[in-house]
Amino acid sequence: MMKLPPLEYTFDNVVLGWREEAVSFAREHGYHLIVNSDQRPFHHFVGYQDIKSKWYEGIFDLGMRSLLPIPFDVQTIGLDDGKLKVVTEGNTKVMINFEKLHIFDLDNCGNLGVDEVIEDYLVHDMFDITAGSRLGREIILKPNNEFIKLITFVTSNRIDRNKKGDFKDIVTTSIIEREDIKNFDYSDTVVRLFIERKLKEYEIKQPSGRNLKIRHSFRHIMKNNFHFKTLEELDTRIVLHE
């Protein structure tokens, strides 16, 4: 089988990252963006609404302006003979000549002379209200807790007839230190028990007076505070954005 040569591009400025900060920076300056992770910022939306998120708007705009030169399925990224070498999950190799490389995230990266040190994570836990979800009002709780910062009742996206938004589910926002992210004391089970305690404390119940029933749906984890650590003398064309 004949082996195809790698694709090769030449750009003045390349942005490497996947968070909203990277997308917004590339969009503002008109730079090409390499999305180096399949992670996405947390965004809750219901089925009958448009997704209104700076990340999605930015990606759409960059795509329309031909500033997303590589499919999202990136496997590895590194420097090779002064060029940025990108390998996709389909084993397509892309070589990029550049004048400046703006680094926001180092997911799936190596051989760039810099590492990423994560200090803590932003964690969202989604809970379905399986009994008593028709609350019909906005509720936000800001508990005085070590790691759970916010409990928000949001419009449920599980119920088709919920066009008025009366049926609710729950999203919690937490900050968890790196060393605690896999600790049971910071697990979704502990968050659920904490919510149930707060529901009783604030007397948030079904119209019949019964307690709400909740069930954990999913957990979304993304790095929050982090910093770059240089491992060797950086290529002078690399710009780090923290």
Query: What's the pLDDT tens digit per position in 112-123?
Result: 999 999 999 999
Over the stretch 56-73, which tens digit does the pLDDT of each residue have?
Answer: 899 999 999 999 999 789
| Per-chain mean pLDDT for the chain | 91
Residue type present at position 233: E
Q: Given a cut of 90, is residue 207 above it in pLDDT?
A: no
**Mean pLDDT value of segment 180-188:** 97
**Mean pLDDT value of segment 123-140:** 90
Q: Given a cut of 60, is residue 104 above it in pLDDT?
A: yes
DSSP structure string for 156-183: -SS-TT-TT--BEEEEEEEEEEGGGTT-
- Nearest 5°: the CA angle 236, 240, 242 is 165
Over the stretch 81-103, which tens digit does the pLDDT of each residue have?
Answer: 999 999 998 888 999 999 999 99
d(CA 29, CA 99): 15
d(CA 39, CA 26): 18
Q: Which residue has the tokens 């920076």?
A: 25
- pLDDT confidence of residue 91: 85
d(CA 42, CA 221): 8
- Nearest 5°: the CA angle 181, 183, 127 is 70
Q: Are strands 114-118 and 226-230 parallel, antiparallel or unpaired?
A: antiparallel
- pLDDT confidence of residue 1: 47
- pLDDT confidence of residue 66: 96
DSSP structure string for 58-101: HHHHHHHTT---S-S-EEEEEEETTEEEEEETT--EEEEEEEEE
Residues linked to residue 175 through DSSP beta bridges, in sequence order: 122
Q: Given a cut of 70, is residue 35 above it in pLDDT?
A: yes
- pLDDT confidence of residue 49: 54
- Nearest 5°: the CA angle 223, 227, 231 is 125
d(CA 109, CA 238): 14
Confidence of residue 195 (pLDDT cuts 50, 70, 90): very high
- pLDDT confidence of residue 106: 97
d(CA 104, CA 19): 8
Lowest mean pLDDT among 65-69, 105-109, 206-210: 206-210
- pLDDT confidence of residue 81: 93
Burial (CB count within 10 angstroms: exposed 0-12, middle 13-18, buried 19+), residue 41: middle
